[in-house]
């Protein structure tokens, strides 16, 4: 998974991450930024930007440990040199060799979310070519899926039942205490959205995804 900030991975696909881990799938969460902008207005006197980055990094480590997944932070707060970012992501893909990759929607309002989506999908199709031969052998990603954060999909192409793991998602999100202050109703939002998505498949809770056309599934 490629996500912009600590907590995006949970909002978009936390239940699916938990389900994959329970099914003995290896999961790596690659975060671009430590999220220095994720600061509640009431806490600005308490935390400077570098301090909130330290807080969010510790929170991300706690979340990864709780979920039992590997996580990395690339230290890319802004995508300026796109080619160098894509190279780093190709290296990640060829190192981890994922069957599926989850990333942000290209239609997200947040500029870094969009940039992560674009760089991730480009890296996935480039990783299966002979380009960037210095970064390892080519690897074909089976499928790339976009997840939703606050910009919801009108027509999801995949709905994942996360009923058995939804409480884990909520507990993990609660570990991002700094972001609960930024988004005080986020847990209610996650529950309501999961119920809406679950309704589509007649299950209590689910998460929605859209398959990227950039990396067609090979069968």
Structural domains present in the chain: 2-211 (3.40.50.10320)
pLDDT tens digits, residue range 123-136? 999 999 999 999 99
Q: In the chain, what is the greatest distance between 2 CA atoms, to the nearest angstrom? A: 55
Reading phi first (left if > 0) and then psi (alpha if -120 to 50, else beta), residue 129 is in beta
pTM for the predicted model, two decimal places: 0.91
d(CA 113, CA 2) in angstroms, rounded, equals 10
> With contact defined as beta carbons under 8 Å apart, do 75 and 34 qualify?
yes
d(CA 127, CA 97) in angstroms, rounded, equals 10
> Measured in whole angstroms, how far is the alpha carbon of residue 215 from the centre of its chain?
18
pLDDT tens digits, residue range 1-33? 999 999 999 999 999 999 999 999 999 999 999
**Half-sphere exposure (CA, 13 Å, Cβ side) for 73?**
19
Residue 45 has a pLDDT of 47
The one-digit pLDDT tens for each residue of the chain (219 residues) are 999 999 999 999 999 999 999 999 999 999 999 876 655 555 454 556 678 888 999 999 999 999 999 999 999 989 999 999 999 999 999 999 999 999 999 999 999 999 999 999 999 999 999 999 999 999 999 999 999 999 999 999 999 999 999 999 999 999 999 999 888 999 999 999 999 999 999 999 999 999 999 887 777
Q: Which of 15, 92, 22, 10 is nearest to 56 (CA)?
A: 10
Q: What is the mean pLDDT of the chain?
A: 92
Residue 47 has a pLDDT of 53
Q: How far apart are the first and last CA of the chain?
A: 22
**Residue whose structure tokens are 């498949």:** 201
């Amino acid at each position: 998974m490629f996500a912009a900030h600590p907590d995006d991975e949970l909002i978009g696909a936390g239940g699916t991450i938990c389900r994959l881990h329970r099914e003995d799938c290896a999961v790596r969460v690659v975060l671009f930024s430590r999220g220095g902008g994720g600061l509640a207005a009431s806490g600005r006197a308490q935390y400077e930007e570098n301090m909130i980055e330290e807080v969010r990094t510790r929170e991300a480590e706690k979340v990864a440990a709780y979920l039992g997944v590997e996580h990395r932070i690339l230290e890319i707060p802004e995508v300026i040199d796109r080619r160098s970012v894509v190279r780093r992501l190709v290296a990640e893909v060829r190192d981890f060799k994922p069957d599926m990759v989850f990333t942000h929607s290209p239609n997200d309002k947040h500029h870094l979310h969009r940039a992560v989506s674009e760089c991730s999908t480009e890296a996935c199709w480039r990783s299966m070519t002979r380009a960037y031969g210095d970064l390892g052998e080519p690897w074909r990603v089976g499928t790339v899926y976009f997840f939703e954060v606050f910009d919801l999909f009108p027509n999801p192409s995949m709905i994942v039942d996360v009923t058995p793991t939804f409480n884990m998602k909520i507990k993990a999100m609660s570990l991002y205490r700094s972001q609960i202050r930024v988004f005080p109703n986020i847990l209610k939002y996650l529950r309501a959205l999961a119920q809406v998505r679950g309704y589509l498949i007649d299950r209590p809770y689910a998460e929605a995804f859209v398959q990227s056309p950039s990396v067609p599934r090979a069968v």
